[in-house]
Structure formats: C-alpha cells, structure tokens
Structure 1
Amino acid sequence: MPFSTFKIVYDLKVEDKLEGASHFTSLEFRILVTLKENDLLEFVQGKEQPVPEDKDELLQFKKNVVKAKKILIDSLKDHLVPIISKMSSTKDMFKALEGMYEINNTSRALALRKQLHHVKMTKGESVITYFMKISDLRDQLNAIGDEVVDKDLVMLALNGLPHFWEPFIQGISGRSKFTKFDRLRADCIQEESILAARGIIKISNGEDSHVLATLSIKKKGGNWKKGDFKRHRDHKS
C-alpha cells in the first residue's frame, strides 16, 4: 500500500472513526477518497463487480474485496462493526452505513429544527452571541443535508429578538427588498450600539447586553411601562 494511502486509512482509524450518525457526511467523503486512491471505488458504488474466472484475476479480486472491507471496518468504532460484519458484499456494507445514517439523521434534523425554531435572545446576551447560536444550528443542519433557506433564518432571528426591538423589527419588515441573514446580523449589531448609546441596554466588555428597558430605566414620575419604549426612542431620535 502506498505511504499516502496508508496515512489516510490511519487517520480514519485514529481520529475519524464513525461513532454514530452525527458526522457521517464528512467521514463518507474520506472513505470514498481512500477507496478511490486504492482503485476500489467500484466495490461500493455502481453495478456489482463480476467475479473473474481467471485464477490470477480472481486472486486479485478477492484481495481487493478484503481491502475494501478493511477500509470500511477501520472507519467504525467497535460497537458499530457488528452492523456490517456479517455482510458478504462491500456494497451491502456501505449501504448499511448509509441506511443507519439516514435513519438517525432524520431524528437529528427534527431535534435541530426544533431548537432553531425556539431560539431566543436571552437577557444579557449580545447580538453576536445570539446570531452565532442561530448560525451554529444552521451549519449543523446543512452538514446533515437539511438546508435552511436564508428567508427562514431571517424570520427566525427577528422572532427571537426581545420585545423592545419591535420598532427595529417593524423597520426591517417594512423594507421593499428582502434582507439577507448576513445583512440582518450587521444591522442588528449596529442597532445594538444605538440602543446602548440611548441607555436602552447596557453593553459590558463589548459583548454582553443587559436589558434595562421596561425593567430599570426610569423617567420622571415613575418606572417605564410597556409601550413607552417607542415613545422614548422617537423622542431621543
């Protein structure tokens, strides 16, 4: 086996063994590259390879089958090996891995989607941290083949903002052109600075935003009431 090929297989064994379905997409790519480098890709893809009749070719064929099986088995943690160990065909072994991934992947996608739809900007959380949470969930979904479209991300991000961001949300919603997610993040960061400058929130250490609106900001004659924020904002403008 060439040195470069050995290194790829070694990396799969030590660092990238499949423990569950969560990172199968990246591992699948490594497995396919390793098989291709060894001229064994046809043993897991395409039509079933015919068994040669020539004695020497048959011997080489059997060696290649063993190599392909070894690459697949070496990519797994021990507790997953029994899933494919009794299968005679390398194609069946690979299909079993894909099937396990697809079944588990559906559950994972549902769980991630649920988290994404319930994400909120919490008290004391900065805009940057809030958008990182959303981006991380989006990236996890994309990694398992469940793409989240930009329009959905924007709607989810706006819905998760605190109530005192309502004037900002209305401004974004009233735009004639759709605001993309990256643009919304930049706009929110700018709005956060404006809110801090007006005393609506307090930014500590450049990141944490502590909500003061309707909680601790006072005006002459008493505490703020819900609905006073817009009047305060308009007055300060």
Structure 2
Amino acid sequence: MMPIRNFLLVTTALALAGCNLAPRYVRPALPVPAETPQGPAYRPAADTGDAAALADTSWQVFFTEPRLREVIALSLANNRDLRLALARVEQARAQYRVQRADIFPSLSATGGATYQKSPLGNVQGGGVGAGAGRFDIYSASVGVSAWEIDLFGRVRNLARSAQEQFFAVEENRKASQIALVAEVATAWLTMAADQERLQVARKTEAAFRQTLELTQARF
C-alpha cells in the first residue's frame, strides 16, 4: 500500500503543478489607424537583410556633428533621471533573478575531515590509515535544502511577471534616453537656428545703416 500511496501523492503533485490559474494574456489593440496613408513617403524601405532595427540604432548614427555629439554624451552621463532609470533596471533584473531561482531546488553540500591519533591496532570506525599513530576520517553530504512544488504555476508565473516587469523597466529606460537625446538635439538646433537668424539680422542692420549713410550723404 505504501508504494501505491507514494505514487498517488507524486502523481497528484505533478498534476497540480501542471495546472496554471494565471489568466491568458490578450494583447490590446494598438491605437493606430486602420489604414496607413498612401504616398512615396509611406512606402516600406527595401529589406537589406542585415539592416538593424530602427529602435536599436544608436543616436550617433543620426547626429554626426562632433560638438553636438559631445553635448549629448555629457547629458547622458550626468542626467539624474537617466541614472535613476538605470538603477531601476538593475533592481528589476535582480528581482527577476530571485524569482527565477525559486523555480529550481536549492542544493546544499557539507564536508569535513577529522584527524585523530590512536595506537596501532586500536583504530575504530571507518577511515583511511595515514601512517603510524594517525587516522584520517572524511565525511561529505549533498542534499536539497529547499524546494517548493510549483502548484498551479504560482512560482513560474511570479518569475514570468518579474521578467515582464524587467522588460518594461528596460524599455522605460530606453524611452528616457531617447527623450533626453531629443531634447538636447532640439535645443541645439534651436540655438543654431537662432544664431543664423541673429547673423541675418546683423547683416540686415548693416545694410540699412549703409543705405542710411548713403541717403544722408546725398541730401
């Protein structure tokens, strides 16, 4: 009876572990138009096979002006919000590793060695003789210290939730970095445009002054 009872217990535990009470994820509809606009600008680019995804393209590809690159690099290295986002990514990664480790059993191992002296011919217990008057005893053990049976997929669902949370935090960090780069680039381009307008205004002023001087000299 005992083997049958143990078999039933193991079978029931495996059956419960195979059950999953987590709701099935349904991807929400994206808030995009049902039809894309028509025209040459909206045609898909030719697939080169080895082209990197646009989202993974570094900002250095878009901005080639050396001084602008230096300013963007300084802003990325010294921005407080971005450093906070990086810390949150590391926290989410550590949390995912902790949750994922709960899926597997925790193993423990211990070992020891004892050296004792005893008269020859009067050694008791198991061991290995190491010469006259000395006897060495070694011991080792390995076992499972902790393991939770994943009933109804609870542990696995927690690990999956932590993984998705890590992905979300990482995407938030990327979004923060893109927003910071965009703000710096926009400010830089605005300043460059203002400088161009200032130069045009100064040239216009010089032309007006010259015209005024010519008019005054004529009359």
TM-score, normalization by structure 2: 0.24
More strand by share: 2
Higher Cα Rg, which structure: 2
TM-score, normalization by structure 1: 0.23
Which of structures 1 and 2 has the larger relative contact order (alpha carbons within 8 angstroms, sep 6+)?
2
